[in-house]
Amino acid sequence: MNARTAEITRKTLESSVAVSINLDGEGLANISTPINFYNHMLEALSKHSLIDLTVEAVGDHEIDAHHVVEDVAICIGLAIKKALGNRGGITRFAAAFVPLDEALAMAVVDISGRAHFEHSGEPNEQIYHLVAGHFTGSLTGHVFESITSNAGICAHIKLLNGRDPHHIVEAQFKAFARALGEAVTINPRIEGQVPSTKGVL
């Protein structure tokens, strides 16, 4: 099997980002951004998807975390898309439910080549909350939307329960990680065929 790896770099006036990914990894993460809570979430994404992920990012986080967070997510999405190649042999569909104490999150993904994102269930006040003092709650959905839109993934992420803002974010990252990791896994039963009646994804 060919290595399903990719490297992506992105430089703007707001940030400089380098991402490398291995879809057939062991969940090894080497994450460096100026947003510590984001680092923690990306480490969880890697660990629970079994996708090796390296991120080196700097940017104008003193203005707002948004620029660095978004640009890293864009690069992760592009790296996933590149590493998938023609998507032959992948499991394609997957779903996961992940609890974190009182929080419970669901993620369902389709590695379809068509980007679509649905996000629901967070309490209204979550979008304004500063998790760990620097990660605005509204960024959670924006991360997933940026990843999926650039990777060509359809994803539905729903918070089913949750009160603690940290738990609300982390449960969603872990659910997405578990679903993504399963969906990109090679299924030996289809011997490299593209899992679509169209023949392409």
Quickly state the pLDDT bin for 1 (edges 50, 70, 90): low
Tell me the mean pLDDT in the region 11-38.
96
Whole-prediction pTM: 0.96
The string of pLDDT tens digits covering residues 110-150 is 999 999 999 999 999 999 999 988 899 999 999 999 999 99
Q: Which CATH architecture has domain 5-190?
A: 2-Layer Sandwich (3.30)
- What percent of the chain clears pLDDT 90, i.e. is strictly above it? 87
The string of pLDDT tens digits covering residues 139-164 is 999 999 999 999 999 999 999 999 99
The structural domains of the chain, with segments of one domain joined by +, span 5-190
Q: Which of 163, 170, 119 is nearest to 142 (CA)?
A: 119
